[in-house]
A and B are shown apart, each in its own frame.
Chain A
Amino acid sequence: MDQSVAVQDSLKEDENCIVAAQCQFFVNDVIESRLVSLVECKSEYGIFLFTHRRMAITKDDISLDKVVPITKDCTIEEVLSEFPVLGADMTVRITSDSVFLELQLPFSSHSQRFLDETCKACHGVDMSEDPCPQFLWLSKYLPKSALASDSEKKGAFIPTAAFKGIETEASDNKRKTGTATVNGKSQVSEETKQNIQNISDNNAVRDGKVKPEVNNDMVRSSSYTVANKAQMLAMPQFELRDNLIKCELLKREESYTFTKNYRFFVGTYNVNGQSPKESLLPWLKGGIEPPDIYLVGFQELDLSKEAFIFSDTPKEQEWSKAVYEGLHPESKYAMIKVIRLVGIMLLFYVKKELAEYISAIEAEYVGTGIMGRMGNKGAVGIRFNFHNSSLCIVNCHLAAHTEEYERRNQDFRDICSRLTFRSFDPVLPNLPIMKHETVLWFGDLNYRISDVDVEQVKKLIDERDFKTLYKYDQLKKQMEEKAVFDGFTEGELTFQPTYKYDTGSDQWDTSEKCRTPAWCDRILWKGKSVKQLQYSSHLSLKTSDHKPVSSIFEIGIKVVNEELYKKTFEEIVRSLDKMENECIPSVSLSEREFYFKDVKYMQRQVQTFTIYNDGQVPCQFQFIQKLEEPAYCKPWLTAQPCKGFVAQGAKLEIELEVFVNKTTATKLTSQEEKLEDILILHLERGKDYFVPISGNYLPSCFGSSLQALCYMREPIQDMPPEHIQQFTLMPLHPQTEPSNTLEKQLDIPKEVWMLVEHLYRNACHQADLFQQPGLRTEFEEIRDCLDTGMPDSLPGSNHSVAEALLLFLDALPEPVICYSHYHKSLDSSGSYTQCKQAISTLPQCHKNVFNYLMAFLRELLKYFMFNNLDRSTLASIFGSLLLRPPPGIKQDATQKKKVQEFIEHFISKQEDVS
């Protein structure tokens, strides 16, 4: 639903809500709904945030919460999630010098438009040459407190300074003005003036009466010119494309990887705080074939208090060395990583030649000991990628004591939730253990054999009836109940329990406690392509009260075929390029070129064409300015609409209108300018289409100068073009005819004569002459008549002829009383003699026309009984046309009065002035 209506309702007249969208906004960790909108005023933009009722319809439903002016230091960006999902919410971050906002917008066209428009506005600000937007219009929305905090910022934020100036108007102004009078010096008073200026501007804004800004007022098209299009296209969507490629690569992984089996050795050994006393080779050799990867875990590496309190222990070095020396002798290994938490240590070796395929290594630990944190119990883990497969290795030491199996289950769950790895990509969340393709989990899990007496256990061991014994294994029971290690597999136990022996022997615990033997030390796995080749313990090692356990796995690893990978990657890039090219907005135009034939003065000509969106995306179009031109088209041309939106497959009709009026006619008649223009139809993020417009203009007496017309004895359209050019471009002769003129000048233009003569003959008795408008169609006939022939009488009603006369005088490039005479004439309005003096210095043809018209007006007044005319009416109508102020000069009431007085002198006297 479009809620911009409600926002617009709350704004002032000159402020424009471009787009509004509903969004989620975090306030003190609470999500609240807001209406966010982009508001424009005089080419400045602000983001308004409103609290609102569920369906906001009017301004009463919303209340302004925040305003952020879009300044040069303001950035708007979409925060992209790791894998963009079509239809997901979008997060928009707005940051500037003093603001940080993060908004969550639902997936909708409003949201997208908000983002697009805001970015555009932001970009526009960056591009603009203006020194700095003032944001005066925003000041009324900003609370004082916000300004106070803003103004404390460094000077960079100039708009703030402007706000400050306004906000403090009441108090500061008086004071400063006071100072200024005392000092009488420039510095302060200038500033004060500036302030007052600001305030009055601001008040004007409040009243909804805005003084047009000269520089922007003339500009018909708003934001883009051809030149800055270059920058617009340069805004790349790097992240999006990256993520698309990543997704696609992941999807097609099978096409460029193959599975290769690697041999993994996994060992776990609770060393009971001892130092290595014997070779570890029997445990670590792992068969005839050297393993590719070694993952060796220890528990109770050091039981001393020092190890517990200080993390350093010499045992780490000792055991690492022992392990390195016990690795398979036929291969060279590189240590990739070691991680230790008090007594729990994990070593990671790989065959030297395979090391380059190991990447993204992260190691972490979690203590689950006393208080659930201490490191006497817990786990260490290493995650890494081997070729294209991800693996996670966990070595743990869970809670002890037979009856504590629940505690052990709890430890497992704790480790699962707390042991996470920093993600390789900083924007991604941490990786938990279970997110890996293969997990190898081992250690002193401490599950015991229970619910059976120790003698029975030992008997079963002696009988090597491990199957029966396994029935009493706590881990088995807990896994069956899915209380722990859900989804993990363990190989069959074909070796006797690994705990507890008298240290240095193969004898079961003979101490007072006489513990029941147990399979404390275990190796489990999770993952599809894991095959256990061997699972055993090693009785021959006698250093500890545990026996070490080992397992050999054959694990299928996804190996990248570089060639296929490159091929796949290139395919993806190609298809993305293709997609991107196809998504460049594109339209087709029903017509590419326009010719306007025989364009006449003040006669509209319209041609239409259709924009058809033949592309695959909706498109936003706009006619844009050409470099160094003030508008997107010449002043005699308009395109309607000049910007808009076309959906895929949709059509839109554009109307091109040519209309030549007094401002453009003169140069077209003199052929200084032609009916020629090229429109640039710009598609946002897309192509530009050039639309050439041309036509021919039929020269007209309207818009031609009195002098030029005096040279034309023929109707203007019967004149050869070169003569028209010659006469119209000739400089105005001050008084006398030039000697080199080919033809004798007429006293007054025949067109003036025809119009006046017609009125004189027919309209003296016409009621409301010069007060009633004529008909447009009749004007056209009169114009054609004047421009093409010399009939005895003019067509149309008296009113139309009268209006044609006024239009003719209005279109004169140089008024009857020349611009150069304007001030002089006004000054002499008090005295008829001086007025006559002013007229006498006019160029001859101007003087003639003036006198002729005055005589005509005097004649008209004789019939005031019929035509209802009076002196002041005629003086005011004709004064405004004959005695026009030069361009750029404004006429005030007094001057208008003087103009009227000037003319009145002439029409009240009966004598001739020449």
Chain B
Amino acid sequence: MAKKTYDLLFKLLLIGDSGVGKTCVLFRFSDDAFNTTFISTIGIDFKIKTVELQGKKIKLQIWDTAGQERFHTITTSYYRGAMGIMLVYDITNAKSFENISKWLRNIDEHANEDVERMLLGNKCDMEEKRVVPKAKGEQIAREHGIRFFETSAKANINIEKAFLTLAEDILRKTPVKEPNSENVDISSGGGVTGWKSKCCS
């Protein structure tokens, strides 16, 4: 019962144009809920969620940023320190997709060099209003060597998967110290030797 309750803290950041659904993506992941009323984020918000990956408990601290153009200069100063950045566009909004390269440049300029990036095409439940084909998203992701998911915060498609994948990618390049394995002390009496006990908690 003496296991640590979490081993790592990852900081993730959500960026992208205003109205693409960053806050909803976060709300779906953290509270498993969806709110249809749009309230523009004017500032920086964050939530935490603890997940388990490869037997490690990882606390994700996810920052949600204001997407409005006029705040871009300010929000870029929050990039520093983020270990993963989710760049979100709206598949029903061509402009939000066109801006992707600008956002990627922003990341290059302001984020840590080794930050793990991911592209999300949100609102994929609204197929009838789609203006950005999935292939285009895939293509730009491929060009930049980053992962891509189409998601829907509303229909809960790929949200958890996206976050877990991003966390896994970060975990993969995080050097982890092996925790001391708790072995049962076995004396070499007349008994059987050579087995180990799992840590029981």
A425 at the interface (CB under 8 A from B): yes
The A-contacting residues of B in range 59-83, CB under 8 angstroms, are 59, 61, 66, 70-71, 73-74, 77-78, 80-82
Distance, CA A231 to CA B81, complexed state (A):
7
B187 at the interface (CB under 8 A from A): yes
Q: How far is the CB of A214 from the nearest CB of chain B, in Å?
A: 25
Determine which of B70, B192, B198 lies in contact with A352 in the assembled complex, contact meaning CB atoms within 8 Å. B192
Q: CB-CB contacts of A295-331 with B at 8 A, as 1s and 0s?
A: 0000000000000000000000000110111000000
Measured CB to CB, the nearest residue on chain A to B8 is: A236
The B-contacting residues of A in range 315-364, CB under 8 angstroms, are 320-321, 323-325, 332-338, 347, 349, 352, 355-359, 361
A324-B190 contact, Cβ under 8 Å, with A236-B59, A573-B5: yes
Residue of A234, A321, A573, A680 ringed by the most chain B CB atoms within 10 A: A573
Measured CB to CB, the nearest residue on chain B to A230 is: B81
B38 at the interface (CB under 8 A from A): no
User: Is the Cβ of A687 less than 8 Å from the Cβ of B191?
Assistant: no
Measured CB to CB, the nearest residue on chain B to A687 is: B45
Interface size on A, residues (CB 8 A): 62
Residue of B4, B5, B44 ringed by the most chain A CB atoms within 10 A: B5
B30 at the interface (CB under 8 A from A): yes
Q: How far is the CB of B128 from the nearest CB of chain A, in Å?
A: 34
A905 at the interface (CB under 8 A from B): no
Q: How far is the CB of A435 from the nearest CB of chain B, in Å?
A: 15
A692 at the interface (CB under 8 A from B): yes
B1 at the interface (CB under 8 A from A): yes
B2 at the interface (CB under 8 A from A): yes
User: Is the Cβ of A323 less than 8 Å from the Cβ of B77?
Assistant: no
Determine which of A249, A250, A425, A584 lies in contact with B47 in the assembled complex, contact meaning CB atoms within 8 Å. A584
Tell me if B's interface is mostly helix, strand, loop or mixed: loop
User: Is the Cβ of A626 less than 8 Å from the Cβ of B74?
Assistant: yes
Measured CB to CB, the nearest residue on chain A to B45 is: A687
User: Is the Cβ of A335 less than 8 Å from the Cβ of B187?
Assistant: yes
B127 at the interface (CB under 8 A from A): no
User: Is the Cβ of B78 less than 8 Å from the Cβ of A577?
Assistant: no
A226 at the interface (CB under 8 A from B): yes
User: Is the Cβ of B1 less than 8 Å from the Cβ of A246?
Assistant: yes
A690-B47 contact, Cβ under 8 Å, with A335-B187, A678-B74: no
User: Is the Cβ of A337 less than 8 Å from the Cβ of B42?
Assistant: no
A627 at the interface (CB under 8 A from B): yes
- Among A179-187, A237-245, A528-536, A703-711, the stretch that binds chain B is A237-245
Distance, CA A231 to CA B71, complexed state (A):
21
User: Is the Cβ of A334 less than 8 Å from the Cβ of B42?
Assistant: no
User: Is the Cβ of A325 less than 8 Å from the Cβ of B190?
Assistant: yes
A349-B50 contact, Cβ under 8 Å, with A227-B77, A356-B198, A357-B200: no
The A-contacting residues of B in range 167-201, CB under 8 angstroms, are 182, 184-187, 189-193, 195-200
Q: CB-CB contacts of B26-39 with A at 8 A, as 1s and 0s?
A: 00001100000000
B53 at the interface (CB under 8 A from A): no
List of B residues within 8 angstroms of A689 by Cβ: 42-43
Q: How far is the CB of B163 from the nearest CB of chain A, in Å?
A: 13
List of B residues within 8 angstroms of A258 by Cβ: none
A837 at the interface (CB under 8 A from B): no
List of B residues within 8 angstroms of A337 by Cβ: 185, 187
Q: How far is the CB of B183 from the nearest CB of chain A, in Å?
A: 10
Distance, CA A692 to CA B40, complexed state (A):
14
20 A-B residue pairs with CB within 8 Å: A227-B77, A230-B11, A230-B81, A234-B11, A236-B9, A236-B59, A241-B5, A324-B189, A335-B187, A337-B187, A347-B189, A349-B191, A352-B192, A358-B184, A359-B200, A361-B184, A577-B49, A577-B50, A688-B43, A689-B43
Q: A333-B191, A577-B49 are in contact. List 20 more A-B contacts (CB 8 A).
A: A227-B80, A230-B78, A233-B61, A234-B9, A238-B6, A323-B190, A334-B193, A335-B191, A336-B191, A337-B185, A347-B189, A349-B191, A359-B197, A387-B200, A560-B200, A574-B50, A581-B48, A626-B77, A678-B71, A687-B43
**5 tightest CB-CB pairs across the interface, nearest first?**
A324-B190, A230-B81, A335-B191, A335-B189, A688-B44
Q: Which residues of A contact B (CB under 8 A)?
A: 225-227, 229-231, 233-234, 236, 238, 241-242, 245-246, 249-250, 320-321, 323-325, 332-338, 347, 349, 352, 355-359, 361, 385, 387-388, 424-425, 560, 573-574, 576-578, 580-581, 584, 592, 626-627, 678, 680-681, 687-690, 692
Q: Which residues of B contact A (CB under 8 A)?
A: 1-2, 4-6, 9, 11, 30-31, 42-50, 57, 59, 61, 66, 70-71, 73-74, 77-78, 80-82, 182, 184-187, 189-193, 195-200
